[in-house]
Amino acid sequence: MANLRVDDLEIEVIRKKVRHIYISLLPPAGNVRMTVPAHLDHEMILSFARAKLDWIKRQQAKILARPLPPVPDYINGETHYFFGHPYELQVLETTGRPRVELNAGQSIILFVRPQSTKEERQKLLYAWYRRQLQAVIPGYLQKWQEVIGVTVKEWGVKRMKTKWGSCNIQARRIWLNLELVKKSPHCLEYIIVHELIHLLERYHNRRFYAYLTQYLPGWKEIKKELNSWF
C-alpha cells in the first residue's frame, strides 16, 4: 500500500490480484482509494489517476455536500435506526439485568445500570443489534444459496469501516457489516447476494454484474439507498 499525489489530491493505492483499476471514494471526507493490479507500474497508475481527476473531484464534492450523521450519545430522545425504521431511544435505569427492548415499533428501550457510561450504553445496544442481525441472516443465506447454486462454509458479523461485506472465496466465508442492521432488510439481502455471487465470479466485471442483474434486477436502486445517509 502506498500513496500517490495528483495535483492537490492524495490517493491511497492498494495493489491486489485484480484485472482492472477500481476507484473508491470513502465517506465522510471523500478519501480516494485506488485498487490496482499488482504488476501495474507507477506511470500507468499515475496516468489513469490524471485521466479520472475531474470525475474524482465531482464525486468528492457530492460526498462532502452530504449532511454528516449525528454522533450519538445514547441518551433519551435520540433517533436510532433498526432495519430501516427510525426509533426514539429511551434510557431507563434498572437494578436488574441490563437489556434492550423494542416497544411497539415506536422506541428502543435501553435498561441500564444507574450512572452507566456512554460506552456501556453503546456496547449494550450493539450487542442487541448483533443478535437481531444474526437471527435473520440464515434465512436469507438459505434462500439465496439455493437460488444461485452456491454454498458458504461459514459467515460472520463484524463492524467494518469501508465495506458492507466481504467474501473469502477460498475459505467460502462471508463477513457482513454490523451496520446493516440499521438499513432496510432488502439492503442486507442485496449484500448477501453480492457476496454469494463472488463464489461464481471473483471480480467486479461484466460477468459479475450480469449475475447481479439476473438475480436482483433492482440492485442499482438498492445500492443508492444503502450508501445514502439517513
Of 143, 142, 133, the closest CA to residue 165 belongs to 133
Fold category of 133-226 in CATH: Zincin-like (3.30.2010)
51 burial (CB, 10 Å; 0-12 / 13-18 / 19+) is exposed
Nearest to 97 by CA among 124, 64, 70: 124
Q: What is the pLDDT of residue 137?
A: 98
Integer Cα distance of 153 and 108 in angstroms: 34
Alpha helices in the chain (DSSP H): 42-51, 53-65, 118-148, 185-197, 206-215, 219-226
User: Domain extents for the chain?
Assistant: 2-65, 79-130, 133-226
Mean pLDDT by 10 residues, the chain (230 residues): 81 86 81 88 91 91 78 94 95 95 90 96 98 98 98 96 90 97 97 97 91 96 78
The answer to pTM > 0.75 is: yes
> 176 forms bridges with which residues in the sheet?
157, 165
